[in-house]
Amino acid sequence: MPDSSAAPSLRTRVRRMAELADYDATTLYAIIDAAYLCHIAFHDAGGAHCIPTACWRDGGHLYIHGSNGSRLLKRLTEADSCVAITHLDGLVLARSAFNHAMNYRSAMIYGRFEKVAGAAAKQAALAALMDKLAPGRQAEVRAGSAKEMAATSVLRIALNEAAAKVRSGAPRDDADDMALPVWAGVLPFAQRRTAPLADAGAGALAPGYVRDWCQE
Neighbouring-strand partners of residue 47 = 44
Higher-confidence residue: 204 or 55? 55
3 state SS of 175: helix
How far apart, in whole angstroms, are the C-alpha atoms of residue 12 and residue 2? 11
Q: How confident is the model at residue 87 (pLDDT cuts 50, 70, 90)?
A: very high
- Residue-wise pLDDT for 7-28, tens only, equals 888 887 888 888 888 888 999 9
Q: Over 70: is that where the pLDDT of 216 sits?
A: no
Task: Quote the CA–CA distance of 56 and 119 in Å, as a whole number.
Answer: 19
Domain positions in the chain are 10-211
Q: H helices of the chain, where?
A: 25-33, 71-76, 119-133, 146-150, 208-211
CB 204 within 8 A of CB 211: no
- Name, in order, each residue with C-beta under 8 angstroms of 17's C-beta and a sequence gap of 6 or more: 165, 167
Per the CB < 8 A criterion, the answer to whether 154 and 66 are in contact is no
Per-residue pLDDT tens over the stretch 105-152: 999 999 999 999 998 999 999 999 999 999 888 888 888 888 989 999
What pLDDT shows up at residue 91? 97
- Residue 16's nearest CA partner among 95, 101, 82 is 101
Check residues 71 and 87 and name the one with the higher pLDDT.
87
The CATH number that domain 10-211 falls under is: 2.30.110.10
Whether the per-residue pLDDT at 209 is higher than 80: the answer is: yes
Side chain identity at residue 15, one-letter code: R
Residue with the bigger pLDDT between 138 and 89: it is: 89
d(CA 85, CA 65): 17
What would the pLDDT profile of 31-81 be if each residue is shown by its tens digit? 999 999 999 999 988 899 999 999 999 999 999 999 988 888 889 999 999
User: Which residues lie below 8 Å from residue 59, measured CB to CB, with a gap of 6+?
Assistant: none
Using CA atoms, how far apart are residues 145 and 16, in angstroms rounded to an integer?
48
The sheet that has 61-67: what strands, in order across it? 56-58, 61-67, 152-158, 114-115
